[in-house]
Amino acid sequence: MADGDCIAQLGGWAGYRVAGWRHEPRAARRWLILELTPAPDQVRCCSGCGEAVEAIHDRTVRRIRDLSLFEDPVELEVERLRLACPRCGPRLEQLDWLERYARVTRRLADSVARLCTATSVRYAAHWHDIDWKTAKAIDFRTLERRMGPIDLDGVRRIAMDEFAIQKGHRYATVVVDVERKRVLWVGRGRSRAEVRPFFELLGPERCAQVQAVAMDMNTAYDLEVRQHCPDARVVYDLFHVIAKYGREVISRVRVDAANQLRHDRPARRVVKRSHWLLLRNPGNLKDNEQIRLAEVLEANQSLMGVYVMKEQLKALWNVPTAWAWRRAWKQWLRHARESGIPTLMHFAKCLRPYWRGILSRVRWPMHTGLVEGINNRIKVIKRIAYGYRDDAYFFLKIRAAFPGIGR
């Protein structure tokens, strides 16, 4: 008993005492087995109603995992009591250190959950010598309890974007509260039907309070926002529009220019290697890169034209007033029509119906930069775990990584 009393000084088993201990060899490991029995004269409370109950319905010995002691994994042999509660009927005794029907102590579960926030579930399971499914279930319950239902009150400005969830063009949508920098919702897919559950969760009253939504030129997002949030202004992100311009206009004109120089290999090589020079911001270029860019633009009139039009298109996001924006926008469309470059003319024709979303940037200076940063963090979360098969668990991990800031 002296040894048992010494181990009992470790504490953490309120209402129980250490009746004995022993070592058991298992698979080249030595396990420490602690025998816990109910302490006498202890007030027992029902796990259903929380009231004190004296009558005991039955006793069952359970095996419970606890934190390791030095090098030895610890297992408890606990004499679990089921109380005869006059209000609830037979119910397990309420314990601060053990949840109902749990096979691990609270402190072991807390340690597993903390480790899962920094590393993978498999590593946390290996560290504590438990099954990975048990570690995942612990982390999942902890996240559900900690995060709870999302608070959607007071949402005024949001941003929406997609991220790749699996190979094969399989995507998910993330919705972010721009003001509080928190993830509001994550759902698989990027179609109208697949993002509609967020607006249904938001509800008509809160949808009416949304003022602006930042997004790329995703038609599904646009139409769904206009249907559920009629008073909200759609704001198109500069990065996505310019990226689209680079893919559909600059890259196409560059390839055509290189093909025209098929018999002049040195000049063709210069044009082919100018891809990133044409797409990068001029302020980010080094001195030697600016010289190379100037040489490429001087050598081809079409490349010069689409490059200048790219800078004018970017300037539309910095116009201070709506009237000044309209003048600049009409001027840009006129220059695109008069350029005679088919790809530029086609891009301007396709971009024209989206003018309201670009103009909204004057009133609502928003972008999807926050969402892009969150998407990068999502990639890290997915890479640490080598992917997730459980969407609900994966989306909880994303919400937990971006809980937001206070008002």
Going from N- to C-terminal start, the domains of the chain cover 2-100, 104-148, 157-237+367-401, 238-363
Percent over 70 (pLDDT), the chain:
97
Q: Give the range among 249-253, 267-271, 306-310 with minimum mean pLDDT.
A: 267-271
Q: Mean pLDDT over residues 372-401, rounded?
A: 87
CA distance 163 to 24: 49
Q: Is the pLDDT of residue 407 over 60?
A: no
Q: Is the pLDDT of residue 402 over 60?
A: yes
* Domain 157-237+367-401 CATH assignment equals 3.30.43.10: no
Q: Is the pLDDT of residue 5 over 70?
A: no
Maximum mean pLDDT: which of 33-42, 188-197, 272-281, 385-394: 188-197
**299-317: pLDDT as tens digits:** 788 889 999 999 999 898 8
Q: Is the pLDDT of residue 8 over 60?
A: no
Q: Mean pLDDT over residues 175-188, rounded?
A: 92
pLDDT, greater one: 216 or 405:
216
Q: Give the range among 27-31, 166-170, 173-177, 211-215 with minimum mean pLDDT.
A: 166-170
Percent over 90 (pLDDT), the chain:
42
Q: How confident is the model at residue 10 (pLDDT cuts 50, 70, 90)?
A: low
Mean of pLDDT over the chain:
88
